[in-house]
Amino acid sequence: MSDLIAQFVTNAERNGLIVHRGEVPDIADAGISKAICGLADPGSVVFAASPEEPRARSILPDVHIAVLDETRILADLSALFTELDGELPSSLAVVSGPSRSADIEQILVLGVHGPREQHVALVKSA
């Protein structure tokens, strides 16, 4: 496993993402979308909205699975913006774990503004 992949997995799991290697898990009613890349530091997945990848697919379901080609793991946010080279999509989302909020009485609640459970399926490009 390359250093970037290992760093991504360690940081993603620390953030609360559930990482799967090789295959997309079969989870009933889960939303599935393709991440444009992963960021080893901080352990996040990145989504770009498009007609093929609508935002709703990654933010509305209670459980979401991000499919990430392991060759698309970049070092960090700076590397992402270098990769984009000024070509920003209409919406770019950097997801670092399940939706969390402690707005009310400082009590942590999962799934308030998005999925309460986030999975990442690391796959090898064909």
Determine contact, residues 4/10, Cβ cutoff 8 Å: no
Question: Tokens at residue 9, please?
Answer: 């997995």
For 69-87, how does the pLDDT look when each residue is reduced to its tens digit (9 = 90+)?
Answer: 999 999 999 999 999 988 8
What is the domain-level CATH number for residue 80? 3.40.50.10420
Domain count, the chain: 1
Out of 91-95, 97-101, 112-116, give the one with best mean pLDDT.
91-95
pLDDT per residue over 7-23, tens digit each? 999 999 999 999 999 99
Residue appearing with tokens 């993603």:
12
Is a pLDDT exceeding 90 seen at residue 110?
A: no
Give whole-number Cα distances, 125 to 23, 70, 101, in Å: 12, 7, 35
Q: Which residue segment(s) compose the domain that 41 sits in?
A: 3-123
Q: How far is it, in rounded angstroms, from Cα 86 to Cα 53?
A: 20
CB 53 within 8 A of CB 33: yes
pTM of the model: 0.89
